[in-house]
Structure 1
Amino acid sequence: MAGPSTFNQFDKLLDSIAEVVCVIDKDFRFVYVNQACEEMWGYQPEELIGRPIFQLIVNIDRAATQQAIEQFWKDGESYEFENEYCHKDGSVIAMSWIGKKDSHNKLIYARGKNVIQKRMQEKEVEMLSLIARETVNGIVIMDAQRRISWINKAFADMTGFAIEEIKGKRPAEFLCGLGTDIEHIQEIIRKVQRGEAATIEMLGYTKERLPIWAAIQLQPLFDKTGGIDKIVAIINNITERKRLQEQLDAELKQQQQRITAAVIRAQETERSQLGRELHDNVNQVLTTVKLFNEIIAESVTDHKELLKRSSNFLQMCIDEIRRISKRLAIPPLSEVGLVELTRELVDSINLASKFEVTYSLKGMHAIPISQELQLAIYRIMQEQLNNIIKHAEASMVMIALAYEDDQLFLTIKDNGRGFDPSIKRDGIGLTNIRSRAESLNGSFHLQTASGRGCYLQVAFPLDKVEVLS
């Protein structure tokens, strides 16, 4: 027969258990409860002995719990159920119970544990499952050997494969094709096998062998020992993005080719024009000077008049070469500056042309701008004024340089005959202007029509910090 020491040891054993162990009589009152009730409900065992268990159960669960226990008294030897209890501090504790009845003594022996964490995990799993099912991204779950165990609807729709067709297979067995970068995929696989997350963009193929680009995120999941248990792949269909990128790259390449061709044509035009000017002007004058010198050398008479005329012709050559040089190479901007160059350009046009050029400046003296931008603006003015001289038949041209709202604006307006911008033209002047503007992140705006002159504006963004420095 067990002595008192044995019972004491048994009580200590029960008190060491983290789960609540209790005995309830036929009136649903506590006859015994171990020390775990303090951790679970906030009460000492002596506070609960003789109290009905329903005083701890939340109101919404009381009727269902009473019905379950009464049914258990009638029919069952053991039972399992879950309900919720009020902690002494007012919080709610969800518990899972396992019980057995003693019909002879009309007692129930029960063991209960906290299932709050379990319920939270179940809700989390339920939420993740819902997300996985409903997301537009494809999701694939694989084991440590990369064999597929589950796919969502989005992946099935994306590839055309049903889970029954690919379960147990590795993705590479049915997704890869001639255009797939196998070496890169193997490199990513090795990274995942080392326990690292990885991202890859790959070209795969649907069930109908149609190409599909996918951005894939691979995440290994680990078991309790630290080994890889599962691998989750999240797949985003980027086929359309890739198509648009390829289209954009092709258009940029074509645009660059057009710009390069325009630059080459401009260089050849400039060289041809320079060659004609040297041949038609300088060369003919120098030929005349050479003829005069030969006459003087072969004659014994005094030829002061020929010498004077030769000197004048040489000065003409010097002036012509200076004019050509000035057009090709402007003075150093660090010494002259854009405002002064604009003034000189306007003055030279007014002296040589049949139309009048006026210009205005706003806010230009307060801003330092790069020599590269100054040169681009100067060349744009040269190009457009040259266009006006050749084609516009204008009598008035207005140039405006203005700094407003962190932007530098160049506006050139004439009252010439204008043109229809929808008609493709052979000239490259406006193409050069647009290219110069866009090369420095500028914008280009042209407004013209037949008989209505031409309005051209380019705008360049300037950094506030740069302007104020």
Structure 2
Amino acid sequence: MKRPSKPLSWLPHGQKSHGLKFILTGKEEKYKSLVENSIHAFFLTITDGTILETNNAASVMFGYTAAEFKTLHRSDFIDHNDPELAKALELRKQTGFAMLEATGIRKNGERFPVEITSTIFMDTDGVEKSSTMVSDISERKQAISAMQLSNERYNLVVKATNNLVWDWDLESGDIYRSGNSLAAVYGHSANDSICSIDRWKEYLHPQDKDRINNLLEQYIHSPSETSFHLEYRFRREDGSYAFIQDKGYIIRNRQGKVIRMIGAAEDISERKKTAMAIEESEQRYKMFVQQSTEGIWRIELDKAIHIHTPLDGLIKYCYKNAYIAECNDTFAKMYGFEKASEVIGMPLHKIMPEDNPDNIGYLVRFFNNGFKVENEVSYETDKDGNQVILLNNMVGIVEGDYIKRAWGTQRNITEQKKAEEALAESENRLRTIIQTDPECIKLVNREGMILEMNPAGLAMIEAESAEQVIGKNACQLVLPQYQEEFRKMMQYVFEGNEGKMNFRIRGLKGRELCMETHCVPFRNAAGEISAMLCVTRDITEKVLLENSLNEERKIRHRQLTEAVITGQEKERTQLGEELHDNINQILASTKLYLECTLKGDKPRTDLINESKLLVEKAMSEIRKLSKTLLPPSLGEVGLLQALNELADLIKQTNELSVLIHWNNVNENEVPGKLKLTIFRIIQEQMNNVIKHAEAKHVAISIERQNNLLTVSVKDDGKGFEAELKRNGVGLRNIGSRAEVNNGVVNIYSKPGAGCELVVQFPC
């Protein structure tokens, strides 16, 4: 073919056109713009390879500047050792056009595949030049290599695999399947039922159908995807579903449109079941880990260490290089954090202090016991610096004599440890109390054998050591007359009740003591009654004191009875004397006056009037006598008014001044019997003053202060020795009346200094 004689323009890659005119006028700028903006390298050269012009894409592709290109020959960036290049240049010489694949060489020496399209033309000056376009086809080559590899794999899979190989023609919609695995994979005996894409889609699981349709659409319309991967459930002929995995390649035409999809279908049902089982197991594991009440953790070392490293070296290495790699939230919360993510990556030494010997011992036992320990206690630190006591189980993972990590669980026993320490302290305190308690504390079993006894108990029974009584029957110490009752009490206590008893014992050296015991069931950890706990005290002195008090009570009762009888006799004597010496004489005089009046012829008015006066006097005397004998109606007139009347009566017959002082007393709060007692005590003391004191003034005081009601009768008489007069009848009567109301009587008197009677009652 004859070389073209007119200038030719460069055409886009892949087009072949010759003999077009290159018109500079009006189109040169458009041409330059097209060249400069092209993604392909453009070269304007002389046919011998000398470079005249390049575009920017050439610099980007080969790494030379435009100026550098003008100093180069095409052989500097196109490999001329390729024999195909010489053939192409010869073809271009003959036809004016050539296209070939060659090897480009970048400035940095990198070689890469290129496609060259070159046209020869004559410029306006008649100089023969060439317009050359170079394209980097590295990606295309890779795609072709991948396609070749895919074809090889396809052929190999068809021959060697049990998978079902298929070819889907997108234009026709038909699917060709090869191999004998149709039934094994899809569970269908013939391809006819699923030979088209539409029929094939009918057998997809309803829950997978939309997803697979969407994926297929994405693959088909993707501009660059070369492979695909699908997983779905497919209905077999028997109605069951198989898990299918499809993998393959996408075939495109020159325009990049997907025209075929070639793949291999594999039944992965068993694998899926296994994966689902693993996933379920993993979920159970995660649920267990997250919901566990124990901290679960994994510690990693930055780098594995040989297990035969010296022990000190292993421990130091762990503290320096171990960190928390995995844990649950429970673990994190033990250190004051909320989430596991806050702890992940934390160095071991941050939470487990190296200076605690218990922690070092924990690691020593871990390394010495074959990298496994159980129920080891560690003393660690939370984020606020507080100590946390943990109970740990740990297992190390050893691979090829190197330990890399360890798994473990832990429980927070801080409160338990504190409780144990408190319990130990309480037990020590209780034992100290028992050992120092002055009462006998002992444990006795069902047979009555003494199991334990404190020092005070040993001293009570005259034992020099515990060995003398431990294992001996407690009944042997009890006097015979109390032994049967003691055995009954033991049986009652072992039935779950509390028992009390007073009895007498004889010590090992013969001393007899009166004892009081209180026994309760002693239960073991299972709640069973295993022994009887007895607290026994020596009440010998108490019994002797009570006997003494009883005797004193008897004497006091006799004295009280004697005082009452004496008082009654005194009152009767006074009554008799009063009736005989006073009232009887008045009545006798009245009788005499009346008799004289009756003897005369005329009644004597003067005698009748005198008799009337004597009768009135007798009535007055009887009234006064009755007031001294009968208790005052204090409920009607009140204690204060009764005392005022008593004072007025005394003033009428005696030259004695009586002053009554009443302070902070509410009569409504004082019981009636107590008010009567106070009145009789004051009445008795006033009689004593009138008869013996020779006093001119008496002060009666009743006041309430600090829950005490104090009654005082104070005179300015001649006084007496208080100790010598205490056994008088009047004072005994006062003491008896006060004692009945839990009162206390005190007498303060000296000769010439008057007397004060003070009685205090609780109120």
TM-score (norm 1): 0.72
The change in CA–CA distance for 1:89 and 1:448 in structure 2 (over 3 A counts) is closer
1:214-258 Cα distance to aligned partner (Å, 9 max, x none): 45352432544x533454444555655665555555545543443
Counterpart of 2:656? 356
1:183-241 Cα distance to aligned partner (Å, 9 max, x none): 48735752x43435x363533534444314345352432544x5334544445556556
| TM superposition shift of 1:386 | 1.4
**2:494·2:521 contact (CA, 8 Å) conserved in 1?**
no
| TM superposition shift of 1:420 | 0.5
1:128-185 Cα distance to aligned partner (Å, 9 max, x none): 33223321334434556665433333433444444333434554x2443357496487
The change in CA–CA distance for 1:33 and 1:185 in structure 2 (over 3 A counts) is farther
| TM superposition shift of 1:280 | 4.0
The change in CA–CA distance for 1:330 and 1:143 in structure 2 (over 3 A counts) is closer
Distance in 2 separating the partners of 1:36 and 1:159 = 63
Distance in 2 separating the partners of 1:447 and 1:359 = 19
| TM superposition shift of 1:340 | 3.7
Q: Which amino acid aligns with 2:561?
A: T
Counterpart of 2:734? 433
Is 1:153 the equivalent of 2:483? Answer: no
**1:85·1:95 contact (CA, 8 Å) conserved in 2?**
no
- Name the stretch that deviates more: 9-18 or 77-86: 9-18
Is 1:60 the equivalent of 2:352? Answer: no
Find the residue that maps to 1:422 and give its secondary structure. Answer: helix
Counterpart of 1:202? 502
Distance in 2 separating the partners of 1:419 and 1:306 = 50
The change in CA–CA distance for 1:364 and 1:342 in structure 2 (over 3 A counts) is farther
Counterpart of 1:397? 697
| TM superposition shift of 1:418 | 1.0
The change in CA–CA distance for 1:186 and 1:102 in structure 2 (over 3 A counts) is farther
Q: Which amino acid aligns with 1:133?
A: R
Between the aligned residues of both structures, percent identity stands at 26
Counterpart of 1:127? 425
Find the residue that maps to 2:752 and give its secondary structure. Answer: coil
Is 1:213 the equivalent of 2:520? Answer: no
1:386-431 Cα distance to aligned partner (Å, 9 max, x none): 112222233x022334545476554333232211012255521122
| TM superposition shift of 1:259 | 2.6
Distance in 1 separating the partners of 2:342 and 2:568 = 101
The change in CA–CA distance for 1:45 and 1:390 in structure 2 (over 3 A counts) is closer
Distance in 2 separating the partners of 1:361 and 1:454 = 17
Matches within 5 A, 1:179-328: 180=482, 183=485, 186=488, 189-190=491-492, 192-196=493-497, 198=498, 200=500, 202-205=502-505, 206-208=507-509, 209-216=511-518, 218-224=520-526, 226-235=527-536, 247-248=548-549, 250-252=551-553, 254-283=555-584, 317-328=618-629
Q: Which amino acid aligns with 1:412?
A: V
The change in CA–CA distance for 1:94 and 1:75 in structure 2 (over 3 A counts) is closer
| TM superposition shift of 1:341 | 3.2
Distance in 2 separating the partners of 1:204 and 1:96 = 57
Counterpart of 1:93? 389
Distance in 1 separating the partners of 2:346 and 2:710 = 89
The change in CA–CA distance for 1:322 and 1:166 in structure 2 (over 3 A counts) is same
Structure 2: unaligned runs, 5 residues or longer: 1-273, 308-316
Is 1:83 the equivalent of 2:378? Answer: yes
Is 1:451 the equivalent of 2:752? Answer: yes
Distance in 2 separating the partners of 1:23 and 1:8 = 25
The change in CA–CA distance for 1:326 and 1:294 in structure 2 (over 3 A counts) is same
- Name the stretch that deviates more: 419-428 or 306-315: 306-315
| TM superposition shift of 1:56 | 3.5
**1:358·1:397 contact (CA, 8 Å) conserved in 2?**
yes
| TM superposition shift of 1:452 | 1.8
Structure 1: unaligned runs, 5 residues or longer: 463-469
**2:503·2:514 contact (CA, 8 Å) conserved in 1?**
yes
**1:142·1:232 contact (CA, 8 Å) conserved in 2?**
yes
- Name the stretch that deviates more: 379-388 or 180-189: 180-189
Find the residue that maps to 2:520 and give its secondary structure. Answer: strand
Counterpart of 1:466? none
Counterpart of 2:172? none
The change in CA–CA distance for 1:439 and 1:175 in structure 2 (over 3 A counts) is same
Counterpart of 1:164? 467
**1:218·1:231 contact (CA, 8 Å) conserved in 2?**
yes
Find the residue that maps to 1:60 and give its secondary structure. Answer: coil
The change in CA–CA distance for 1:109 and 1:263 in structure 2 (over 3 A counts) is same
**2:377·2:389 contact (CA, 8 Å) conserved in 1?**
no
Is 1:411 the equivalent of 2:712? Answer: yes
The change in CA–CA distance for 1:105 and 1:448 in structure 2 (over 3 A counts) is same
Is 1:140 the equivalent of 2:438? Answer: no
Distance in 1 separating the partners of 2:519 and 2:477 = 16
Distance in 2 separating the partners of 1:364 and 1:152 = 55
Distance in 1 separating the partners of 2:534 and 2:325 = 49
